[in-house]
Chain A
Amino acid sequence: MNYFPEEVIEHVFNFIASHRDRNSISLVCKSWHKIERFCRKKVFIGNCYAINPERLIRRFPCLKSLTLKGKPHFADFNLVPYEWGGFVHPWIEALSSSHVGLEELRLKRMVVTDESLDLLSRSFPNFKSLVLVSCEGFTTDGLASIASNCRHLRELDLQENEIDDHRGQWLNCFPDSCTTLTSLNFACLKGETNVAALERLVARSPNLKTLKLNRAVPLDALARLMSCAPQLVDLGVGSYENEPDPESFRKLMAAIQKCSSLRSLSGFLEAAPLCLPAFYPVCQNLISLNLSYAAEIRGNHLIKLIQLCKRLQRLWILDSIGDKGLVVVAATCKELQELRVFPSDLHGEEDNNNAAVTEVGLVAISAGCPKLHSILYFCKQMTNAALITVAKNCPNFIRFRLCILEPHKPDHITSQSLDEGFGAIVQACKGLRRLSVSGLLNDQVFLYIGMYAEELEMLSIAFAGETDKGMLYVLNGCKKLRKLEIRDSPFGNAALLADVHKYETMRSLWMSSCEVTLGGCKRLAQNSPRLNVEIINESESNRMERNEEDERDKVDKLYLYRTVVGTRKDAPPYVRIL
């Protein structure tokens, strides 16, 4: 029963932005469901196969912004074959032939083609914002379409996509009348950039706040760009190698000094550390610093820079910073909330890599940065004692991802498993929403996770556990679990099949190189009409020839997810949907 006219309720709803809250509102009663759906502007779809575009458009005809995620997370690590799926084209086609006035499209891990981008650019006159993260399948020709046709484009943000760079003149395709850009990020483009076109574009974009350049933009161009855009808030530096001549350096310094609004710095894709001092004047204002691609910035240059960044809230760095460097971070960056330490050496080739990080750095950070709530830490070794200390120092973690580079590596001092250490983390951090575990782990850690991690939504497990009990503890205990991804762990059918209904409360489950068999997956699929159970067996060309399949055969990769639209039709031949 409504005590207010619909318009009033709708007005109130418009203050609610979070899609979770919106989802909750829509479940209150039929009338609220109806009001809510007509005023929802932003829709978030965490799995593009859970729903189809037609139903989306039917339910939310007034949508302006759509976020879609395609491939499962482990696709980032080459575990999902190319062409598995996640094609955006059907979505754009459907939206294009509807009356939806799309203004914003945000895609993650999807396959995007030039054709899709072209259709997108021509179908929505008010289109303002395109954000592509970890996508693939398109070239700079697609970008040219967007630039040419989207008259009101404000944001073009390309993050870590694999883009075929045709070295065309896509930057030239922005018409002279385009002056509305607020954000331009093309750091992931590998080819040359038409610097002159870029300069003209930046000069006529007075609202530009974010500019992230690619490798091809050299030092002197950077200085000119920054002089045209002193209002920049977020800058991604392209490259400057070799020592700059004094004149170029002076110009750069002068330009940077005018950028009093600069708060975020990234890039330095190819950087001679001697150019860093030009940035010293803005360091005191920085809240975000991403040097995770700047392999050349290390040692004293790096330390000096960090010591100036007293207001830093977010730091992404390479492990070449070393424990010593992290101690400096801990002493300097008291406002730090998020830290990511990436590995600079992926294959363990540089054995005497003194500069890598260990538990010492992690403990230092936890002790020095009271506001830390999010961490991604790649390291060579860890101890239970360190993790227990970290848990005591930082009970506020919402994201805790620890990756010990060597699988199954125990506590390097006691040689025990790391169950107790991670156990301490989940017990202390009551708000933990995301957890990645690594190192030598038995079932015990999962008992702890099931018992204590009440808010846990996403759990990543690799090379861990002993028996099915491990997985069961998690499935039974973590009531808010949405995404579970497991690789190379000894969990099998008993765990998989124990509570089939659990998976309908989750977005997805991934299991690869585990002990589940074809028979187990088939049984699971039989009892779950609202789940898509996909088996990915790429190397099974010989198996295709065999007509009888052995239900006892282990499954390489299992990916299951809840859906209201049944089996998808676009799966490649090596994906079998049960």
Chain B
Amino acid sequence: MEKVGDYDELVNLKATELRLGLPGTEETVSCGKSNKRALPDDDTEKEIESTGKTETASPPKAQIVGWPPVRSYRRNSIQTKKNESEGQGNYVKVSMDGAPYLRKIDLTVYKKYPELMKSLENMFKFSVGEYFEREGYKGSDFVPTYEDKDGDWMLVGDVPWEMFVSSCKRLRIMKGSEVKGLGCGV
């Protein structure tokens, strides 16, 4: 399975990497504590990652139900942490002022801000204006904001994309009068 990616580094690494593994098995980049995530940009790969957690460097071990004997609560906690650090789907809620219900999107699907904005614009049928480093978003009543890990509401677009994805807990598209204080022509 060819992995075509923007990340040339990754591709080269893969080509020269020596590993034990059955041909055709892919491995999710083992991230440990770094913030780098493997960004699968090809659907088939994502499918494997989501269904086969045993696709690893070594021959996949058959998963035995209930083994090792770890309480399911603890097991789920480890898995959630792993997913979060490996970026296997980072779903965040998106609310839009005035909309009757919220949506959820997977941030790991996007690689940069314009992609995310486009998707949000399509989802909620609005337009976000243009981003300026100092003034924020101009040209629209709508401003995209997000809640970060400290609980603060921040303007989308200020920090590098990776930092945003790892710290974003939820998104809120602010509208109208509230917007004045935040991003528009401060």
Residues of A at the B interface (CB closer than 8 Å) are 74, 76-79, 134, 160-162, 188, 218, 241-242, 292-293, 295-296, 342-344, 346-351, 378, 403, 405, 407, 436, 460, 462, 487-488
Contacts and interface: CB of A to CB of B under 8 A. Distances in A.
Contacts of B72: 76-78, 162
A342 B67 CA distance: 13
22 contacts: A74-B66, A76-B72, A77-B65, A78-B72, A162-B72, A188-B73, A241-B149, A346-B75, A346-B79, A347-B56, A347-B61, A348-B58, A348-B61, A349-B30, A349-B56, A351-B56, A351-B57, A403-B69, A436-B69, A462-B67, A462-B69, A487-B66
B159 interface: no
A366 B162 CA distance: 45
B64 A407 contact: yes
Q: Which 3 A-B pairs have the closest CB atoms?
A: A77-B66, A160-B73, A349-B56
Interface string B95-111: 00000000000000000
Interface residues of B, number: 29
Interface in B21-77: 30, 33, 53-54, 56-58, 61, 63-75, 77
Given A242-B150, A342-B74, A344-B78, A78 B66 contact: yes
Given A218-B150, A241-B149, A295-B81, A77 B30 contact: no
B29 to A, nearest CB: 12
B152 to A, nearest CB: 10
B149 to A, nearest CB: 6
B185 interface: no
Nearest to B69: A77
B30 A350 contact: yes
Given A74-B66, A160-B74, A351-B58, 19 more contacts: A77-B66, A77-B71, A78-B65, A160-B71, A160-B73, A161-B73, A218-B150, A242-B149, A242-B167, A293-B74, A293-B77, A295-B81, A346-B68, A347-B54, A347-B61, A348-B58, A348-B61, A349-B30, A407-B64
B151 interface: yes
A407 B67 contact: yes
Given A344-B78, A350-B30, A351-B58, A77 B70 contact: yes
Contacts of B81: 295
Contact of A378 (B33, B54, B68): B68
Nearest to A405: B68
Interface class of chain A by DSSP: loop
B65 A346 contact: no
A178 B81 CA distance: 36
Contact of A134 (B53, B69, B71): B71
A235 to B, nearest CB: 19
Contacts of B73: 134, 160-162, 188
A106 B69 CA distance: 24
A407 B150 CA distance: 43
A387 to B, nearest CB: 19
Contacts of B79: 346
B171 to A, nearest CB: 15
Nearest to A295: B81
Contacts of B67: 77, 407, 462
Contacts of A241: 149
A79 B66 contact: yes
A293 B54 CA distance: 23
Contacts of A296: 33
A347 to B, nearest CB: 6
Nearest to A161: B73
A346 B61 CA distance: 11
A349 B75 CA distance: 15
Tell me which of A292, A295, A346 has the highest count of chain B C-beta atoms within 10 A of its own C-beta: A346
A296 to B, nearest CB: 7
Nearest to A245: B150
Interface string B130-172: 0000000000000000000111000000000000000100000
A403 B150 contact: no
A253 B182 CA distance: 33
Given A293-B77, A347-B53, A79 B71 contact: no
A441 to B, nearest CB: 15
Nearest to B78: A346
Contacts of B74: 160, 292-293, 342
Contacts of A188: 73
A347 B63 contact: yes
Given A134-B73, A160-B73, A241-B149, A403 B68 contact: yes
Contacts of A343: 68, 70
Tell me which of A76, A161, A487 has the highest count of chain B C-beta atoms within 10 A of its own C-beta: A76
Tell me which of A292, A349, A460 has the highest count of chain B C-beta atoms within 10 A of its own C-beta: A349
Given A188-B73, A218-B150, A79 B57 contact: no
B97 to A, nearest CB: 19
Nearest to A487: B66
B10 to A, nearest CB: 19
